[in-house]
Amino acid sequence: MSFYAIELPYRTDAAHYYAALADLPWAVWLDSGGMARYDILTAAPQRTLVLHDAVVRNDPFAVLRSALGEQVAPVENVPFAGGALGYWGYDLGCRMHALPHIARDAGHAPDMAPDMAMGIYDWAVVLDHQKQAAHLVSHQRFAETAELLPQILSRLKNHPVLPADDFRVHGKITSNFTPDSYARAFVAVQNYLQAGDCYQINLAQRFSAGASGDALGAYMTMRSLSPAPYSAFLNLPQVKILCASPERFLRVQNGNAETRPIKGTRPRSSDALQDRQLADELRNSPKDRAENLMIVDLLRNDLGKSCVPGSVYVPHLFEVESFANVHHLVSTVEGKLAQGRDALDVLRDCFPGGSVTGAPKLRAMQIIEQLEPHRRGIYCGAIGYVGFDGNMDSNIVIRTLVYADDEVHCWAGGGIVADSDVAAEYQETLDKASAMLKLLRHYGGES
């Protein structure tokens, strides 16, 4: 069928459009946070792909490719008009690499935290903040979509309001590391580094609390406290994901691949002069630049598996980007896909992202599995889409709350290298978690 596009009133904030869809199954929102070009919203997928305890014998990326079917032509200025959208959990990568199961599960019953949860959607609401335009769009791959689109359009025109915020956090916010146990894990990391097992290992702690109520209100508060360009709210039956990620993982557009790893962090300061000094200190730090370069080299290698030899390059190295609570050191790596390779090949070759594992990746993941008390689950995986047109965009799942089974979890970590300082690394995890912990306290959590 022909491409469908109906213009909608443009809104600078997509929240009310999401409210119109929020009660539909698998309602999802890829949120620009006011810092990127597009917001993408959709719901009511034609089918869902939910993968538990994924084993390599059923390649999840091949399953997804089959569900997407034959590619359609891309439409200019429409990033997504249907395809697969959802998340790939970090533990999907653990199972693909056949890592031993040492850490405990991510804190949920097995059916609460699938390794992969993707909907196959046939329409989307796209807000283009650059062109100040909004459209309901669809490739109309399925016959049922013709009946669904008028219903969606009616919802979008009804000016719904956001539901009352009844989210609550109960009791004490706990971590799976104490300062002492973190220090012991840090020493173990240093021993592995000195032995030559790795150049860098990412070590994360997890914060947890009891919770109840609707997560949408909490997400709206979260995005006001910590706006980020690769944010997302996924309201799935198994789990609610509230993500304020600053980091793009992979984008594939018209055969070109891009990744933008973050490695290097400083806290923001309310004093303008001190804030500039912190940014300059990060920009010129030999340690942070060396850490960033390690991950850039890892990702150049990962991209090279699916790209034309010689096409992978680094257009931007060691750029400082500033967010609500932290400054980050960001680089960009790009490449051109080789003949016969597609976005899902790139995703499989690069998954999980090197900025949240360390280098070399597989050995770092083995050490993480040994030293972190719980499996990461969704954290450090990716949220994103692969369109019917073959284009893809995804984030790294950091700065994220995962809410299921009356519990809410969030994580923060950092890359440890040979000259790292334990107190500084521990503090960096607290700096990265600051907005999430503030949110949990806002809703009643006790420090």
User: Tokens at residue 379, please?
Assistant: 């954290």
Tell me the three state secondary structure of residue 113.
Answer: coil
Separation in Å, CA 175 to CA 19, 179, 227, 308, 410: 33, 10, 24, 44, 9
Query: Do 349 and 80 form a contact (C-beta atoms < 8 A)?
Result: no
Number of residues in the chain: 447
Q: Which residues are catalytic?
A: 247, 263
Among residues 94, 83, 91, the alpha carbon closest in space to that of 118 is found at: 83
Beta strands in 246-288 (DSSP E): 248-253, 256-259, 262-267
Cα(220)–Cα(214) distance, rounded to whole angstroms? 11
Helices marked H in 226-285:
272-283
**Residue 354, φ and ψ in degrees, nearest 5:** -65, -25
CB neighbours of 378 closer than 8 A, spacing ≥ 6? 87, 89, 90, 106, 113, 239, 241, 397, 400, 402
Among residues 73, 79, 92, 85, the alpha carbon closest in space to that of 45 is found at: 85
User: Tokens at residue 292, please?
Assistant: 């960033």
What angle do the packed helices 179-194 and 422-442 form, to 10 degrees? 140
